[in-house]
Amino acid sequence: MSKNLTTREEDYSKWYNELVVKADLAENSGVRGCMVIKPYGYAIWEKMQAELDRMFKETGHQNAYFPLFVPKSMFEAEEKNAEGFAKECAIVTHYRLKNDPDRPGKLMVDPNAKLEEELIVRPTSEAIIWSTYKGWVQSYRDLPLLINQWANVVRWEMRTRFFLRTAEFLWQEGHTAHATKAEAIQESEQMMHVYADFAENFMAIPVIKGLKTETERFAGADETYCIEALMQDGKALQAGTSHFLGQNFAKAFDVKFANAEGKQEHVWGTSWGVSTRLMGALVMTHSDDKGLVLPPNLAPIQIVIVPIYKTEEEFAAISDAAHTLVAQFKKLKLSVKFDDRTTQKPGFKFAEWELKGVPVRIAIGPKDLENGTFEVARRDTLTKEVILKDGIVNYVNELLEQIQTDLFNKALDYRNTHITEVSNFEEFKDILEHKTGFISAHWDGTAETEEKIKDLTKATIRCIPLDRVEESGSCVLTGKPSVGRVLFAKAY
């Protein structure tokens, strides 16, 4: 099955696209820039959703649902936000089709069904949500509002790529309102930490927490916090963002509250989101030339059992042993599949489950039954061990935890060896050309220099790391003074 997969070495981008399709994660649809998320891919997304949703609720947030459409006048109320999304939005202008007199049986847009005001399909929901919050907030007692929404959004991207950039994508967007600036900043930071925790401890993807530069900031935000991951080709990927919105949306939508002294003040806001883009990060962080490698936390199937037999009798005996194992794993809430298809050979099954990234494979043959052993294979290391039947359930349970940890450490090791400090622009360009990864460099703090470096190298400032050391230095391009290093990289 996997024999046709392009290797990462040959063409990383092609490898990724092929893998997404062959592993049944997603496929292109007949709609420009939109993909179909297939059941296997969606099952992984559901696991992400469930865990994130749990984390949001644990931090006091509630879910709600706001309209898909934003009337144009509402959309343009916060000017910076509107400007940031105006160039890539889907616009509904009509509400009815009619029979096309020139093409029997076919339809045309009914020109008499033009909307008085155009509707924008939400690219993000600040506008619609803040126009609603106006009615929800009168006094400080109504604050904070801690709301999350699971939704689809549309951004009319010209160049799309599975999961990483699609015209429509699925995400969650948190939108909160607070009485004080400090509380709103604390909320934006908290959610960045929640995202980092989720990425590292659930997805096994190490991330760097930081602040975006003004250029890279969310349109309409005063500050954007982010988590940045590093893919295996040395390109960075923004995995989640959390925005401190200041009073920008409160002012645009006139959301005020009476403080404890009865004085009217504008509310302070945040918004934060992660999307199906995380699916791309997952694939690009862990997978290899044989296919997907899934951390056990996210694997729809954690264990697959493959029988190896020649005769019906052998198959019957192996099936008995397999069913016993399945029952034992299910008791531990592990997700297990006994691949008892008679239409496929073991080699085919091995390749298929490797392609699909099942973390642990157990093979059972007649010899194993005689010896009271099973062959246990790890997907991540492609190694096998023969394990005594008696302790196998605990062994596999612990192995799954080990794999989860190992995947994180492996990715962390890769990431850490791909952060290079440079002191001049020659080194900067050299790293980009040969080693890639994050480049830690001094920058003079101007948008102009940032832009120039981007033009010259395609590298952008991924973030100003939150834990950076204050040190004086000189900008890698202009030599002007700098107070600390920032991280550059080429990025998805």
Q: Which residues bind its own copies (CB under 8 A)?
A: 27, 29-31, 34-39, 42-43, 45-46, 62-72, 74-76, 79, 82, 86-98, 105-107, 109, 118-121, 128, 131-132, 135, 141, 147, 151-152, 154, 156, 168, 170, 343
DSSP 317: H
CB of 195 to its own copies, least distance (A): 22
The DSSP-derived string for 166-228 is -SEEEEEEEEEEESSHHHHHHHHHHHHHHHHHHHHHTS----EEEE--TTTS-TT-SEEEEEE
CB of 268 to its own copies, least distance (A): 20
Q: Which is nearer to its own copies, 44 or 476 (CB)?
A: 44
Distance, CA of 98 to CA of 14 (rounded, Å): 43
CB of 399 to its own copies, least distance (A): 27
CB of 163 to its own copies, least distance (A): 12
CB of 242 to its own copies, least distance (A): 20
Q: Which is nearer to its own copies, 26 or 441 (CB)?
A: 26
Q: Which is nearer to its own copies, 249 or 408 (CB)?
A: 249
Q: Pick the closest to residue 24 from 52, 1, 47 (CA basis).
A: 1
Beta pairing class for 303-307 and 360-364: parallel
Q: Which is nearer to its own copies, 134 or 468 (CB)?
A: 134
User: Quick one: angle between helices 425-434 and 447-457, nearest 10?
Assistant: 40
Whether residue 458 contacts residue 418, with contact meaning beta carbons closer than 8 Å, is answered with no
Q: Which is nearer to its own copies, 48 or 170 (CB)?
A: 170
Distance, CA of 432 to CA of 490 (rounded, Å): 8
CB of 87 to its own copies, least distance (A): 6
**Residue 352: φ, ψ to 5°:** -65, -45
Q: Where does 285-412 show beta strands of DSSP type E?
A: 303-307, 336-338, 360-364, 373-378, 384-388
Residue type, 207: V
Q: Which is nearer to its own copies, 30 or 370 (CB)?
A: 30
Check the CA dihedral 278-279-283-284 and report its sign: negative
